[in-house]
Amino acid sequence: MPNEIPLRYGMNPHQKAARIFTAEGDLPVEVLSGAPGFINMCDALNAWALVKELKAALGLPASASFKHVSPAGAAVTAPLSDAEAKAFFVHDMADLSPLAVAYARARGADRMSSFGDFAAFSDRVDRTVADLLAREVSDGCIAPAYDDDALAILREKRGGKYLVLAMDTDFEPPETETRMVYGVTLEQTRNAALFGPELLANIVTKKKDLPETAVRDLVVGSITLKYTQSNSVAFAAGGQAIGIGAGQQSRVHCTRLAGSKADTWWLRQHPRILEATFKDGLSRAEMNNAIDQYLLRDPTPLEERQWREAFDPAPEPLSAEERADWIAKLGGVSLASDAFFPFRDSIDRAAQSGAAYVVQPGNSARDDVVIAACDEHGMVMAFSNLRLFHH
């Protein structure tokens, strides 16, 4: 492999001179199709690190759907229910491989945000993964390898402009990493800490039982946060992130954002949506937009007109009571935070979205207040003693 690849441009088209390179040795990534841009590579390398760590921590095929250097979703493989398959738009695809299921879950976390994503895969991409990517609006993908028939499909996507990257699985970044900001170089030890089940041993609440599914989901949420712009909080269930609150300055705002996304993820599985039909000729993206507009609490007249025009026939809107009753059925959710909770407000908000299991670093001056809040809500909380900021 070469030690330098020219890029189409930097973060914006007017930033013409752009490249990726290594000071020593060859690049660990190879371009198999398309031409990368600066943001493509930022997404690809962060997403690869995420899925590599998920596979190492849980031993399961993993996938991530990245947008603007934060995951819109991330998941390991886990059986899909009929409702999930329909909500994730894969109910018409038979015999999905475990890796394809992981991507269906990753993209299904927040289908609106995954529009035009960069997809990452922990394992060799097979035909079913390629078939799934071929029907979605996606900018590129990265994986350790591709089956010949899968690569042929991906090379045809977007008229040959779809970006396909192959990553060297043996590559390990140097211990020290540098970054230049406004002409000044910053240097630090790379965040090589691995988040595994062993970091959930210090349970500080009255309730102590952590089922295996909760362990899996807390690990998924925590590793997802390691590659999410901070501050960040993640809700996880079924082996996938279901709501990610990224880049907020306040911890409770992270939780509110992530909680609202988790609520939407669950509302998309409401029978009224699953049984609804769309007018002929709509793209998958247009269907997603219509569902999102339908689920708005207070849509504008234009938004309501648009979703009504997309369905055939238009379903009745969910009332406030129907929304509340359905969200109340969401339970057993895991909540991960990249830093400690300074107040109980995030715990109270998380309880409204079914959170039953929590992991956070701990070491706040108000740990006792946060623990008491978890006890009030009947949650299990572990202190990992590991902060996972990512900037």
Residue 157 lies inside a defined structural domain of this protein: yes
Distances, alpha carbon 232 to alpha carbons 70, 225, 226, 259, 391, in Å: 10, 6, 9, 12, 11
Q: How far apart are CA 342 and CA 281, in angstroms?
A: 49
Residues spanned by the domain of 247: 193-262+330-383
Residue 143 lies inside a defined structural domain of this protein: yes
Determine if residue 68 is left, alpha or beta; phi over 0 gives left, psi from -120 to 50 gives alpha, anything else beta. Answer: left
Q: How far apart are CA 141 and CA 29, in angstroms?
A: 12
Strand partners of residue 185: 180
Q: What is the pLDDT along the chain (391 residues), one digit of tens a residue?
A: 678 999 999 999 999 999 999 888 899 999 999 999 999 999 999 999 999 999 999 999 999 999 999 999 999 999 999 999 999 999 999 899 999 999 999 999 999 999 999 999 999 999 999 999 999 999 999 999 999 999 999 999 999 999 999 999 999 999 999 999 999 999 999 999 999 999 999 999 999 999 999 999 999 999 999 999 999 999 999 999 999 999 999 999 999 999 999 999 999 999 999 999 999 999 999 999 999 999 999 999 999 999 999 999 999 999 999 999 999 999 999 999 999 999 999 999 999 999 999 999 999 999 999 999 999 999 999 999 999 999 9
If one counts every other C-beta atom within 10 angstroms of the C-beta of residue 300, the result is 10
Last residue of a domain, one of 152, 167, 182: 167
b/e code 166-202 from CB counts within 10 Å (16+ = b)? bbeeeeeeeeeeeeeeeeeeeeeeeeeeebeeebbee
Residue 360 lies inside a defined structural domain of this protein: yes
Same domain? For 153 and 110 the reply is: yes
Same domain? For 310 and 214 the reply is: no
Same domain? For 156 and 303 the reply is: no
Closest listed residue to residue 342, CA positions, set 251, 254, 259, 255: 251
Catalytic-role residue among 68, 86, 91, 253: 68
Q: How far apart are CA 380 and CA 334, in angstroms?
A: 9
Residue 172 lies inside a defined structural domain of this protein: no
Q: How far apart are CA 20 and CA 27, in angstroms?
A: 9
pLDDT at 222: 98
Same domain? For 199 and 230 the reply is: yes
Q: How far apart are CA 297 and CA 391, in angstroms?
A: 32
Residue 207 lies inside a defined structural domain of this protein: yes
Q: How far apart are CA 233 and CA 387, in angstroms?
A: 12
Closest listed residue to residue 219, CA positions, set 388, 91, 15, 1: 388
Active site residue 207: no
| Pair 315, 364: CB distance under 8 Å | no
Residue 187 lies inside a defined structural domain of this protein: no
Active site residue 68: yes
CATH of the domain at 108: 3.40.140.20
Same domain? For 304 and 252 the reply is: no
For Cα atoms 316, 317, 322, give the angle at the middle one, nearest 5 degrees: 110
Closest listed residue to residue 223, CA positions, set 29, 43, 391, 390: 390
Catalytic-role residue among 231, 261, 289, 377: 231
Same domain? For 144 and 200 the reply is: no
Global pTM?
Answer: 0.96
Active site residue 390: no
Same domain? For 113 and 130 the reply is: yes
The number of CA neighbours under 13 Å toward the Cβ of 251 is: 19
Q: How far apart are CA 63 and CA 51, in angstroms?
A: 6
If one counts every other C-beta atom within 10 angstroms of the C-beta of residue 347, the result is 26
HEC secondary structure over 282-323: CCHHHHHHHHHHHCCCCCCHHHHHHHHHHECCCCCCCCHHHH
Contacts 24+ apart (CB under 8 A), 302-309: 309/279
Q: How far apart are CA 122 and CA 64, in angstroms?
A: 9
Q: Which residues are CB-neighbours of 64 under 8 A, at least 6 positions away?
A: 47, 50, 51, 54, 71, 73, 74, 75, 106, 119, 120, 224, 227
Same domain? For 25 and 146 the reply is: yes
pLDDT at 134: 97
Active site residue 231: yes
pLDDT at 1: 65
Residue 92 lies inside a defined structural domain of this protein: yes
Catalytic-role residue among 46, 52, 55, 67: 67
Same domain? For 42 and 85 the reply is: yes
Residue 335 lies inside a defined structural domain of this protein: yes
Same domain? For 248 and 345 the reply is: yes
| Pair 359, 385: CB distance under 8 Å | no
Same domain? For 139 and 69 the reply is: yes
Same domain? For 241 and 307 the reply is: no
Q: Please count the structural domains in the chain.
A: 3
